[in-house]
Amino acid sequence: MDNASEKRKVILSGIQPTGTVTLGNYLGAVQNWRKMQEEFDCIYFIADMHALTVRREPQEFRQTSLSFFAQYLACGLDPKRSIIYFQSHVHQHAELQWILNCNTYVGEASRMTQFKDKSAKHADNINMGLMDYPVLMAADILLFQTDLVPVGIDQKQHLELTRDIAIRFNNRYGQTFTVPEPYIPTLGAKICSLQDPTVKMSKSDPDPNAGVSVIDDEATIVRRFKRAVTDSGSEIIMREDKPGISNLITIYAAIEGKTTDAVEREFEGSGYGDFKLKVGEAVAAKFKPIREEYARFMADKAYLQQTAAEGAQHAAYIAEKTLRKVKKKVGFVQF
């Protein structure tokens, strides 16, 4: 078998270090990331540069970012098999973003749905970073000649822009970037809020009862599921007019590795109260080893620092190869 056919595809993803890794993040992304390490060359980063589009208190931001890094490791991302690093530690992200900015049209950036949503939400801080966010995302992806990007529904538009930028650059300067494809997981792709099951569970939701995180203690997790909003009626069944119960069925199925049909059969005749308790207990049990690992990592700051530094060094080595090629293509003087 030749080397080309042996080459594994590159997959890249990042999460902003705001709040904690929620159940939604875990089931929709992180759990799949862990499995991907077996099949792909994986690059996972803490998207701390993206997080600056919203005003942050520096000390809290620093602590949350470090906590997020420890949560990544506790969730099973292995620095021996994947590249795991802080985005801000690899300057090539920002350098490539500028060059891509000069190959992106204002109309494209301003049409992004997330820019409109965030501008409405942060009317007192509509900064250039909000508009430029998708171009930085394009730089994140294209730096590593990424083949696949795990995306939720809310990021599909940004990935399309990344593809457009890559194709435009390749057409103008010759083959430079791999044009990435979306990688969309099936089960657990969208976990909704426990208090408003019509919206996605969010790290930044101001209602503490709306979600649970991988580092919440067992009592907190069970209590929040007991308080989860349900629907009228009493049947535990997946149905469009029962978003609350459907969300809980989706969660339980993903946690237990079952189909939603199997969950409906398992809880046929059960009441909402019993079901919510079972879901809470299942989630708490799943997260127990993660909580324990997280505590161990947070108690060893030297290990976190070393792991982050090694990840950044590895990422920068790959990123620099792409950036040098890009600089040459656009005509920068290089010695």
Catalytic residues: 118, 200, 203
Give me the amino acid identity at 257.
Answer: G
Alpha-carbon distance 37 to 25, whole Å? 17
Alpha-carbon distance 233 to 237, whole Å? 10
Give me the amino acid identity at 28.
Answer: G
Alpha-carbon distance 232 to 242, whole Å? 8
Strand partners, 12: 43
Give me the amino acid identity at 10.
Answer: V
Alpha helix ranges (H) inside the chain: 3-6, 23-25, 31-36, 48-51, 58-74, 92-101, 106-110, 113-121, 128-143, 156-173, 218-226, 243-256, 260-266, 272-298, 301-330
Give me the amino acid identity at 234.
Answer: S
